[in-house]
Each structure stands twice: as structure tokens, then as C-alpha cells.
A = this chain, B = another copy of it.
Amino acid sequence: MRISELSEQTAVPVATIKYYLREGVLQPGEARSVTKAEYGAAHVDRVRLIRAMVETAGLSIAAVRQVTTALDEPPGTRGELLGIAARALPTPHSGHPVSQTVRELVATLGWDVPAEHGALSSLSAAIEAARSAGVPFPLEMLLGYAGGALEVARLDVGAVRDVDPAEALRLVVTGTVLGEPVLAALRRIAQAHVARSLSVTGDPGRTGDAPRTG
């Protein structure tokens, strides 16, 4: 197809597609003449992936390039691709120094995470902000939070195990960002449930495990 058809199929303006080509995030079409190139289904998929990363997940074009470069290399393992996608995501407070608390937490958990992962900075900043507002977040509590986060992360990664690499990347990048408000809302609903069950039964730990019987 021509670039105009690629534009129609993806609802992305031709000028934007040309920008993606210049930035090297969209692979060139097959040259038909000096001014014309032929595009195919792979281009449609790639444009959609780029849009999802830029529009939904807020990635910079440089971050998109990290992802697409990895995608264009000879197939590595799925895990590596996912790591690249995760690191490409915009990270709040990514320049914040990683705190002693966070290093200790990751060591205690035995998690295998690159020391330069931006989310370690985000976490350090978030804990520091909470502590200065008088919410202590002791290590014990952080370990519990990490348990909940791990449960969710296994689902996130599990959801992309059996899909092709490009689709997996799209799901990781968009799902990570769009899953945040889902998880935040579920936490608030769960708090309401636990608080109510506490006022009824005096035991916050058990009532969520099974439907109530009376």
C-alpha cells in the first residue's frame, strides 16, 4: 500500500508517519521509485505500536526508538524485550537517588532488578514524600506492598507470554501505564471492604478470602 493508505488504515497523518520514518522508529517501505514506497501489514502494526507508546503511555520518541530497535534485532528472549519496554516507560522522579530503604527492600526480597532501573528512583521518591508527610512506610509494610505488587506483575508478564513480541511490547507498555489507575481503584475498594469487615467482625484479615456466609 501507499503511505496515504497506511495513514488511512492507522488514522495517523502522513506527516506523522514521515516523522516516524525520519526518526528511524518505523522501518522504511520497499522503494518503488525515487518518491514512492510500498508499505505492508508490518508497517500498520508498527505504526499502531508507536501510537500506543506515544499517545497512551507518553513515551518520548527516543524511548520509542529503544523499544523498536530491540524489536528489530534478531529474536532474543521474551524477558529481555519486556525489560526494555519497562525501562523505556516514562518514570516519575527518575533522577532521584535510590534510597538505602529501597536497596534493603530489594535485597530482602531477593529480586533480580538492574541497579539502574528508573522505578527504584520513583519508589525512593514516593517513600520519601510519604515519610515527610508523616506516613512512615516501615520496611515490613513495604515488603507486604511488594507481595501485592509481585502478584500483579506476574499477571502482567503472564498475559504476554504467548503473544508475538510486537504485541507483547504494546501490551506491556500500555498495560503498565493503564493498569495503574485500575490497581489504585481496586486498592481503595479493598480498603473499604476490609474497613467494613473490621467493624463487623473485628478481623480484617480473613473475610476477603471467601464469600461471606451470614
Residues of A at under 8 Å CB distance from B? Answer: 52, 56, 77-80, 82-83, 86-87, 89, 91-92, 106, 109-114, 117, 119-120, 122-123, 125-127, 129-130, 133-135, 137, 141-142, 144-159, 161, 170-172, 174-176, 178-200, 204-205, 207-208, 210-212
CB distance from A123 to the nearest CB of B (A): 4
Copies of the protein in its oligomer: 2
The reply to whether B135 and A204 contact each other, CB–CB distance below 8 Å, is no
The reply to whether A152 and B159 contact each other, CB–CB distance below 8 Å, is no
A135-B171, A204-B161 given; A123·B52 CB < 8 A: no
The reply to whether B112 and A185 contact each other, CB–CB distance below 8 Å, is no
Q: Which one of B86, B135, B148 lies within 8 Å of A148 (CB-CB)?
A: B148
Residue of B nearest to A170 (CB): B134
Contact partners of A129 in chain B: CB under 8 A: 178, 181
If over half of A's interface residues share one DSSP class (helix, strand or loop), that class is named, otherwise mixed; here it is helix
The reply to whether B145 and A200 contact each other, CB–CB distance below 8 Å, is no
Contact partners of A153 in chain B: CB under 8 A: 187, 190-191, 193-194
CB distance from A41 to the nearest CB of B (A): 16
Q: Which among A56, A117, A188 has the greatest number of chain B C-beta atoms within 10 A?
A: A188
CB distance from A80 to the nearest CB of B (A): 5
Contact partners of A190 in chain B: CB under 8 A: 111, 146, 149-150, 152-154
Residue of B nearest to A175 (CB): B135
* Separation of A202 and B181 alpha carbons in the complex (Å): 29
Q: List 8 A-B contacts (CB under 8 A).
A: A86-B195, A112-B207, A119-B192, A126-B181, A134-B174, A145-B155, A157-B198, A176-B187
Residue of B nearest to A121 (CB): B185
Contact partners of A154 in chain B: CB under 8 A: 144, 190, 194, 204-205, 208
CB distance from A205 to the nearest CB of B (A): 6
* Separation of A91 and B151 alpha carbons in the complex (Å): 25
